[in-house]
Chain A
Amino acid sequence: MNVDVAELLTIDVEAEIRKLAEAELGGPWQVPAELVRRSLRAGATRVDVELAGSSLRVSDDGPAIADASLEALRGLLDVAAAPSARHRALLELEGQGEVGLVALAGLQRRTLRIVCDGAERLRAGDPKVRPVPARGAVIELEGVGLDRAQAKRWLEVAVRFSPASVVLDGVELERGAANAVVEAKLEAPVAGTLALLRSDEPARVWLLRWGVVTTHAMLPGTTGVEAAVELGERGQRQVGAGELRAAFKRELAEVEAQAIELAIATASALDPREPEDRMKVRAMLLASAKVAKSAEVRRVKMLPALYGPSHAREWSSIDQLLHHAQGKSVLAVDTEARAANAVTQAPIFVLSPAERARLSQLFGVAFAPPPSGGVAGPLLSLKGLAESGARAARAAAGAVQGAWQKAVPVEDQTEAERAALEVFKSAVQTSSRKPFNAVELCEGDGAPHVKGRSKTLMLPRGNAEVAAAVALVSADPSWAYTALTALLGGVTMPPSALRARS
């Protein structure tokens, strides 16, 4: 039996409208964000959202809502209109990309009022009339059924990358990446922003349409990256978040590549005074095996290492680290302070345990601590105590004696004394770090001592050790270091310049 297809296949417009409004939204709580998107798409530079009580108000400084859109909305809202007319109105709004206005139609509300450039353009129900700005569009709803707290939370997330300021209940919402090490613009073929974060958040790409987040996708291979990609008109056809993600899959790889490039450029350009930032960027580059093992990343000088006896810090690459690792362990410490007592000329890498673990995992590098000096002090003993006491007594005696001792004039010095003093003085002059600033001979047979503020080492010529030192040093200046070590009596050591000559 033939069947009238027109009678058989029909469209339930009411159901369509009811379901369409929230079809692709996470819930009514996303409607304020959709209305903000509408404003930004229209060109607004500031959008104010008020969520108070059971009302919702979105106002902007953009152009008025197009007459066609308002007409379509009016048609959609007209429950008395024929289903076909309402359906046409719906198609019209969909065709214009007015998702926000479509969502309005499906939102539970008591009243709706739209004012553009100071003139009321649409009214549903019996709304309160509030003052409106002379320019811009205002959408007001009363008796709205939506989760306010969730709406606010979503707005805070959704407008973070908005080009215009969005004010929620009088407070401007924060924009931009939170706590970024560096930010940059994405390059074609994608448009948007890219940031390397200080946090260890999984890498995330926010997909925006006209500055408002629609959905996000993760970059599974890395961490600490946040990108916001503006799809604009491109994202219009794919209404749903799932479709957007699917359609954008190719571009995700592009974003990831640009993030790595940014990390590489940042890794060596960061201020060395910000070690935490550098560590974060390193972590990002090491997070993915594929990235970390790439030739480009292996060449980046991003690993801090201490070189030479002075432990000067230089930035090394993974390749350099692997070079040092050939056949043996690589020396590494957690912090530079731990390398203070290291007694090696080999480079010491300053890497956290996590970084070492990651490098071990990726490249099979074994790490080892550097040989460390810093021997512990001698065990306490009576003898040691006695010696300390004796040193103190000697120093005190010397100080007492030295209080009135004056230097022996040169003309009163013997040849040997002059020669020895010459050696001592020249060593003092050439040393930058020295326990005393001058050396003089004095009368008496007490112990050598450092005198006064001038820190002059006074050598009593009558002291047997001093005499011995004079005898030796005058004949062989290379004895100066040993002699002064003896004369200083264990209080300190002679200047290092003397040692070099011994």
Chain B
Amino acid sequence: MDFRERAWFEAERYGADPWVFVRELLQNARDAGAARVRIDVSERDGSVRLVCRDDGAGMTEAHARRFLFRLYASSKEGEQGMAGRFGVGFWSILRFEPKVIVVRSWPREGTGWEITLDGKLEHAQSVVLPHGYHGTELVLTRPARPDDDVSRQVKDAARMHGRYLLAKGSQEPLDVVIDGERITEELSLPAPSATFRRRGVRGAVALGDAPHVELFSKGLHVRTAASVDELLASPDATKSRPMAPLLEGLAPQVVLDGDALNLVRSRSDARDDKALRRAVQLSQRELARLIERQLQFSRPVPWWRRALKPALVGAAVLLSVVGGAWLASGFLRTERPRPPIGARPLPPTAAEPYRDPASHYAGPRTDALPSTQRPVDLTYWPAAYDLHFASFHLTRPSDGADLTWLPYGSPLLRRPYVGDPCTENCVNVRLSLSGPGWARLPVPTGYQLDRSSLHGAGDVRRTPEGEPAIYLPSSLPIEVVYRVGLGAAPVDRMPHEVINLRGSAPDVSMYRTDAAKAEALRRWVAQHIEYSNDPSLKVLRELQAAGFVESALLAGAGDCDVQNAVLALMLQSSGVAARLTVGYIGRDGQADPLLHAWVEYWDRQNDAWRVSDASLPLSPAIGAKTPARPTRAAAAAPSKAPVAVAGRLPDLSKLPSAPAVPAGFQVTVPEWHAPAGAFALLGVGPLFALLFLVFRPRVKRETQLDAEHDVSRLLQGALARPEAFQHVPALFEQPLVPRRGAGAISLGQAYELAAAGRLYSSDAGLAFSERAMKAGAVVIDAMRPEGKVVAEALGAVNLDRWDTILRGVGVTPLLEEVNRHLAARGERWKLMLSAAVSHEPEILNVPGSKDQKWVVLNGDAQWLEKAEASSAGRPKRALFQVIDEAALWLRMPAARRGRLLAPLARAAMLEELEARRPSSPGPQQAQQRIDEVDAAAVVPAPGKVRS
């Protein structure tokens, strides 16, 4: 392998500049930890000698042989903070075309050495050197060439590539001196500029005459560009672009130096990665900030206005922190309002909590099936019992509307629930409940709630139907355990003889007991109304009015609540207190998943509520197969469930005793495990944000502002390229456009005024502009450059010019009359004459007024001359002609012109007729005549208008 050939190839990769090796020497010195670099160029005996000496760590000969003289090998590869790593940079010295290369080095430890090579790299000699101060020295010698200013070239190259070079690991510039001239300098740009440093990126931004961007890596030059966008491989990498790089006098100049940039081997570019993008974005932000600072410096904004925005932000953050903390604390409290029962939060695996079905039950319907029912989490023990857990009761088919959630404090729940303690044959019930609001506790038919089983203070109220109800404060599910025993809770009114179904119900008067009547009616209903949950089941709606029972019998089929509602009504009609009950069937300690309806009737012989179910065999669950039509035999046969046999309760004595309440059951005040995290975020989040804002890594910045900076250029730039300056809102919002008198307006305000035709300007401050200002008009001071550029670009009305026009303005008697007439008719314009106006009239939106216009004519206008000429003899016609011409010229709509001109036209006509009469009266008499005629007309005469 030809080392020289390869080394040359790599050297040429650095580009066309043969002096690029100076950069590599500086880089190596820097990486070696040098604090000083000296380059001396001398000429002697026809040879140029370049000596580069640094006080870095030096290297041993072995190290040099391993890395320096071995192409591509680099001791710096993978080392943080090193500028070089490719192992080829040193050999860029071949670009100098040296005849002799001498490398000397004194390591910190060990002996010094020297190796001398010829320029063709064909011969080499080594020498051991006496101990010396650590560092490395390179000597390049070549024949002198005519016009070869090596010293200057080296200095230029050093300045270009390394003027911002810092010593390794330091913020101090590397001391580089070439032939006695210091090369390195502080990174800065002429004012207005800002230097900044943040986390491994430092740089400077400025506003100058031409766009210029320079990229450095660890203080060594990488490339130049016209804009920072050019540094990135793909154009959409950054979104911000503070200004266009092409406005004269406003060009952004950026110098960027990144420690973490990843360079390609030729060092001519940095890889488009996070480090580069961060640096680019930082520079763009700094540029925008510089413009704002310069604006603030040139046109200070009062402190209170500057403080307003941060104050508002701070207040919002504080409010958020306090509010969030308050909310979070509310949920983190362990002391909660006590619910009326012992409860504890449900584990996450709990089934659907129980909700009072009355909230979504609309009563038995014969024309529609009930909506989808939800399974419920209800268990009980001893599990041997089969129970009908009554959720709520209906006494009439239309009772659905009454059974809604009762608000806390409802009069219906005034009565406390009184339930006897259970001592034997007790059943313990557990269910999960969810609020908010009042919830009835399901109690099995024939049972009552043992009030003492609900510990703790609080309300257990009784509904008129005798159902116990408790209040749940929130929708968080809780677990309730209570005990029930045989018995009956009092009701406000027994549901008997509520309805009379004479003729519809079979006669059961022959039966002596309520139970027998109930059973007889149950069988009859089961025979005449088949159970069906067929969705297509529909009864003639028109028969609803005839009665629920008739409709159901006519249909001959219905769901369990239809069947049992009919049964309940028939029982009532037969003198047995009965009600439709909706709830859940409990089997084997668990409630069946879906709602069921049955009849509870009062067995007077046993003083107990009993179950009777016309849907036996029991209706299947919703969605399951429709059971086979029960036969007469099946209907007559009692079901296996003990409570399904009408009137007969299970022999509870044969069942095992209900266990006592489990030992250790805690009735405790609940501790709510609120999702505090979510709420805490509300309070803690902004706090963290605030802390971050205060303690975040900051940009260290030094700004040099230009006291003489021409803000007008910025304004001009913003006017010409508003989209490029959108990231500097201060340009549009800050009052930068000077007004005459005092104060300033913002560019945004200037835009608005110009669009409305209400932007005025003046540079001489003549009388008219003073008047305009006093009238409240915004008059830009066009004497100042910022005002001038805005006035010219946005087309402000030049009041100085109008001052000249108005100085010579006058009105003839005809125009006076015209203006009087216009004013009388409420018109907001008037005519004037001025010789300063050309053949075209000038129109002015009167400053300070809302809609007033002045129309200034040149008196030489032919039509005006004609009208003036006729005004003596035909004043009305002259009036008409002038106003007609002016109105047309002002592009007044035809209808409005007509309204304005019709009376004048009429007057002119009559004036003419009068004038043509042989013995025509004088003008006064003519006027009188006209007045008389007009008085007879519908429209009042012109001239007699309200002033």
- B272 contact set on A, CB distance < 8 A: 26-27
Residue B554 interfacial (CB < 8 Å): no
Known: A246-B16, A379-B826. A8 touches B905 (CB 8 A): no
Known: A2-B124, A3-B125, A464-B933. A12 touches B227 (CB 8 A): no
Rounded to whole angstroms, the CA-CA distance of A172 and B367 in the bound complex is 60
Besides A464-B933, A493-B897, 14 new A-B residue pairs in contact (Cβ under 8 A), listed by A number: A13-B1, A23-B86, A83-B1, A84-B1, A202-B245, A220-B246, A288-B246, A369-B754, A435-B894, A468-B913, A479-B909, A482-B877, A489-B902, A492-B898
Q: Which residue of B lies closest to A494 (CB)?
A: B898
- B791 contact set on A, CB distance < 8 A: 366
B932 to chain A minimum Cβ distance, whole angstroms, is 11
B719 and A343 form a contact (CB under 8 A) = no
B235 and A27 form a contact (CB under 8 A) = no
Chain A 371-389 per-residue mask, 1 if CB under 8 angstroms from chain B, else 0: 1111111111101101100
Rounded to whole angstroms, the CA-CA distance of A471 and B909 in the bound complex is 10
A113 to chain B minimum Cβ distance, whole angstroms, is 28
Which of B234, B904, B905: most chain A Cβ within 10 A? Answer: B905
Chain A 1-12 per-residue mask, 1 if CB under 8 angstroms from chain B, else 0: 111110011111
A334 and B71 form a contact (CB under 8 A) = no
A69 to chain B minimum Cβ distance, whole angstroms, is 20
A490 and B719 form a contact (CB under 8 A) = no
Q: Which residue of B lies closest to A358 (CB)?
A: B720
Which of A344, A357, A366, A469: most chain B Cβ within 10 A? Answer: A357
A343 and B722 form a contact (CB under 8 A) = no
- A376 contact set on B, CB distance < 8 A: 828, 850-851
Residue B652 interfacial (CB < 8 Å): no
Residue A163 interfacial (CB < 8 Å): no
Rounded to whole angstroms, the CA-CA distance of A344 and B897 in the bound complex is 20
- B896 contact set on A, CB distance < 8 A: 377
Residue A154 interfacial (CB < 8 Å): yes
Known: A384-B826, A483-B909, A493-B898. A341 touches B74 (CB 8 A): no
Nearest 8 interchain pairs by C-beta: A242-B268, A357-B719, A378-B826, A220-B226, A23-B265, A485-B905, A357-B793, A376-B851
A369 and B235 form a contact (CB under 8 A) = no
Rounded to whole angstroms, the CA-CA distance of A469 and B245 in the bound complex is 72
Residue B342 interfacial (CB < 8 Å): no
- A221 contact set on B, CB distance < 8 A: 246
**Chain A, interface SS category:** mixed
Q: Which residue of B lies closest to A242 (CB)?
A: B268
Q: Which residue of B lies closest to A343 (CB)?
A: B889
A27 and B273 form a contact (CB under 8 A) = yes
- B880 contact set on A, CB distance < 8 A: 482, 485
- B640 contact set on A, CB distance < 8 A: none
- A447 contact set on B, CB distance < 8 A: 938
Q: Which residue of A lies closest to B123 (CB)?
A: A5
Known: A24-B265, A378-B828, A393-B938. A10 touches B69 (CB 8 A): yes
A465 and B69 form a contact (CB under 8 A) = no
User: Of B723, B825, B842, B902, which contacts A378 at CB under 8 A?
Assistant: B825
Give chain A's interface residue range (CB within 8 Å of chain B). 35 or more
- A240 contact set on B, CB distance < 8 A: 13, 264-266, 268-269
A361 and B789 form a contact (CB under 8 A) = yes
B124 and A3 form a contact (CB under 8 A) = yes
Q: Name A275-289 residues within 8 Å CB distance of B.
A: 287-289
Give chain B's interface residue range (CB within 8 Å of chain A). 35 or more
B235 to chain A minimum Cβ distance, whole angstroms, is 7
- A358 contact set on B, CB distance < 8 A: 720
A239 and B789 form a contact (CB under 8 A) = no
B716 and A357 form a contact (CB under 8 A) = yes
- A345 contact set on B, CB distance < 8 A: 840
Residue A365 interfacial (CB < 8 Å): yes
A-B contact pairs, 16 of them (CB 8 A): A1-B127, A3-B124, A23-B266, A24-B265, A27-B271, A202-B229, A216-B230, A246-B16, A346-B840, A354-B720, A367-B792, A374-B890, A375-B890, A472-B912, A482-B909, A486-B902
B264 and A23 form a contact (CB under 8 A) = yes
- B684 contact set on A, CB distance < 8 A: none
Rounded to whole angstroms, the CA-CA distance of A393 and B889 in the bound complex is 30
- A12 contact set on B, CB distance < 8 A: 70-73, 87
Chain B 516-530 per-residue mask, 1 if CB under 8 angstroms from chain A, else 0: 000000000000000
Known: A3-B125, A23-B86, A492-B898. A344 touches B840 (CB 8 A): yes
A90 to chain B minimum Cβ distance, whole angstroms, is 10
B795 and A356 form a contact (CB under 8 A) = yes
Rounded to whole angstroms, the CA-CA distance of A483 and B225 in the bound complex is 77
Residue A299 interfacial (CB < 8 Å): no
Q: Name A198-220 residues within 8 Å CB distance of B.
A: 200-202, 204, 215-220
- A384 contact set on B, CB distance < 8 A: 825-826
Which of A12, A377, A490, A499: most chain B Cβ within 10 A? Answer: A490
Which of A5, A288, A379: most chain B Cβ within 10 A? Answer: A5
User: Of A223, A239, A381, A489, which contacts B13 at CB under 8 A?
Assistant: A239
B302 to chain A minimum Cβ distance, whole angstroms, is 28
A89 to chain B minimum Cβ distance, whole angstroms, is 12
B909 and A242 form a contact (CB under 8 A) = no
Q: Name B856-902 residues within 8 Å CB distance of A.
A: 877, 880, 884, 888-892, 894-902
Q: Name A468-489 residues within 8 Å CB distance of B.
A: 468-469, 471-472, 475, 479, 482-483, 485-486, 488-489
- A242 contact set on B, CB distance < 8 A: 15, 223, 264, 266-269
B843 and A372 form a contact (CB under 8 A) = yes
Rounded to whole angstroms, the CA-CA distance of A498 and B74 in the bound complex is 98
- A247 contact set on B, CB distance < 8 A: 16
B898 and A241 form a contact (CB under 8 A) = no
Rounded to whole angstroms, the CA-CA distance of A2 and B126 in the bound complex is 6
- B796 contact set on A, CB distance < 8 A: 368
Chain A 321-344 per-residue mask, 1 if CB under 8 angstroms from chain B, else 0: 000000001001010000011011
Q: Name B211-263 residues within 8 Å CB distance of A.
A: 211, 223, 225-227, 229-230, 233-235, 244-246, 248, 262
Chain B 126-147 per-residue mask, 1 if CB under 8 angstroms from chain A, else 0: 1100000000000000000000
Rounded to whole angstroms, the CA-CA distance of A329 and B842 in the bound complex is 13
B675 to chain A minimum Cβ distance, whole angstroms, is 35
B226 and A218 form a contact (CB under 8 A) = yes
Rounded to whole angstroms, the CA-CA distance of A376 and B757 in the bound complex is 14
User: Of A25, A87, A153, which contacts B234 at CB under 8 A?
Assistant: A153
A343 and B227 form a contact (CB under 8 A) = no
User: Of B69, B77, B751, B938, which contacts A390 at CB under 8 A?
Assistant: B938
Rounded to whole angstroms, the CA-CA distance of A202 and B826 in the bound complex is 55
B269 and A241 form a contact (CB under 8 A) = yes
Residue A491 interfacial (CB < 8 Å): yes
- B544 contact set on A, CB distance < 8 A: none
Residue B121 interfacial (CB < 8 Å): yes
Chain B 1-32 per-residue mask, 1 if CB under 8 angstroms from chain A, else 0: 10110110000010110000000000000000
A341 and B891 form a contact (CB under 8 A) = yes
User: Of A16, A26, A373, A465, which contacts B233 at CB under 8 A?
Assistant: A26
B906 and A26 form a contact (CB under 8 A) = no
Residue A394 interfacial (CB < 8 Å): yes
Rounded to whole angstroms, the CA-CA distance of A45 and B761 in the bound complex is 64
Chain A 171-215 per-residue mask, 1 if CB under 8 angstroms from chain B, else 0: 000000000000000000000000000001110100000000001
- A9 contact set on B, CB distance < 8 A: 3-4, 7, 69-71, 121, 124
A465 and B906 form a contact (CB under 8 A) = yes
Residue B541 interfacial (CB < 8 Å): no
Residue B794 interfacial (CB < 8 Å): yes
- A435 contact set on B, CB distance < 8 A: 894
- B902 contact set on A, CB distance < 8 A: 485-486, 488-490
Known: A11-B6, A242-B268, A357-B716. A375 touches B851 (CB 8 A): yes
A454 to chain B minimum Cβ distance, whole angstroms, is 20
B828 and A368 form a contact (CB under 8 A) = no
A24 and B909 form a contact (CB under 8 A) = no
A19 and B87 form a contact (CB under 8 A) = yes
Residue A360 interfacial (CB < 8 Å): yes
Residue A15 interfacial (CB < 8 Å): yes
